[in-house]
Structure 1
């Protein structure tokens, strides 16, 4: 009887450990993508930016954490060609916007995660851009070896002032909206 109790306790401990075990899954940066959309009064521009590295943490099958580094030097406009594309890419990389020479990377670190069911999680994370860190909240959907999320970022919180109605008056149709969108698809 004593052996049966010992085996039962060992089995329950093993099952509990297996259920609560954390697994870190490195993100495949080659297969993952980040697409951005920036809007202004007279239209919008869109493009891509590359992940430098990242990982998602799972506790059992549930999302439990994550951290990512974005290569800000990879900002790429996809809706323009030639000289106009080069000009916008250069401007986005300049101190007017993301200042990639002094801030070549940005980071996102998950802080809290709430399970909404059906593989959807509400994530609260710290987003660092240009040396400034602010909280951001977004939903992430996880399916097998992929995850996706849409983040709405307020650039004014990161002191990105160019063309912003939050910092300048009378910009008229030259106003660039403070919020930009990131559509993220992760493969791991």
Structure 2
């Protein structure tokens, strides 16, 4: 009898331990998620969207342990312009001057670590790959189990996107495009 009770208790402990280390993959609903960008220059700014191709968060209990998100760079869209101006800017952003989407159709963000800062806020360290170049990025992400939001500031010059950069070219005047651009992410699971 004692052996059966001990075996039952041991089996229960093993099951509980296994459950505590079980990770869940939370797949992103790409149709209901958004990735918005904003780029600024001396004389103003432009904004638009990039489609999310795929993504997931790896969650253990109430902790984020990883994740990966792939953006479709061929989908770069400008939302603040219409007509010919919109088409010209989208074409230029897709060209080798900027993101070279014919050779680099995807960008990827891979979460390395996520540390809980408060109930729903995580400090994230990730690797971002644009144009085949990978650099670490850090940002805060709010995650509640059903959605996640984050704002990232990216230095485009670290990814060989130097067109119009005052850091690399002299005498650009009011044609200077700032090196950093903003990404606002709203993910639905």
- Tell me the TM-score range normalised by the shorter chain: over 0.9
Give the equivalent residue in structure 2 for 1:82: 83
Deviation at 1:117, TM superposition (A): 2.1
Give the equivalent residue in structure 1 for 2:169: 168
**Does 2:83 align with 1:64?**
no
Give the equivalent residue in structure 2 for 1:47: 48
Cα distance between partner residues in 1 of 2:92 and 2:188: 30
Gaps of 5+ in 1: none
TM-score between the two structures when normalised by the length of structure 1? 0.97
Stretch of structure 1 that moved more, 143-152 or 8-17: 8-17
Cα distance between partner residues in 1 of 2:187 and 2:21: 24
Aligned-residue Cα RMSD (Å) equals: 0.9
Structure 2 residue matching 1:97: 3-state secondary structure: coil
Gaps of 5+ in 2: none
1:53-85 CA-partner distances (Å, limit 9, x unpaired): 111100112111100111000000001111111
Cα distance between partner residues in 2 of 1:48 and 1:79: 10
Give the equivalent residue in structure 2 for 1:101: 102
1:141-186 CA-partner distances (Å, limit 9, x unpaired): 1012111111111001001111101111121111110000000011
Give the equivalent residue in structure 2 for 1:120: 121
Give the equivalent residue in structure 2 for 1:137: 138
Give the equivalent residue in structure 2 for 1:25: 26
Deviation at 1:7, TM superposition (A): 1.4
TM-score between the two structures when normalised by the length of structure 2? 0.96
Cα distance between partner residues in 1 of 2:146 and 2:21: 20
Report the CA distance shift for 1:83/1:43 in structure 2 as closer, same or farther (over 3 A).
Answer: same
Give the equivalent residue in structure 1 for 2:160: 159
Cα distance between partner residues in 1 of 2:14 and 2:118: 27
1:115-135 CA-partner distances (Å, limit 9, x unpaired): 112121111111110111101
Cα distance between partner residues in 1 of 2:63 and 2:6: 31
Cα distance between partner residues in 1 of 2:62 and 2:112: 18
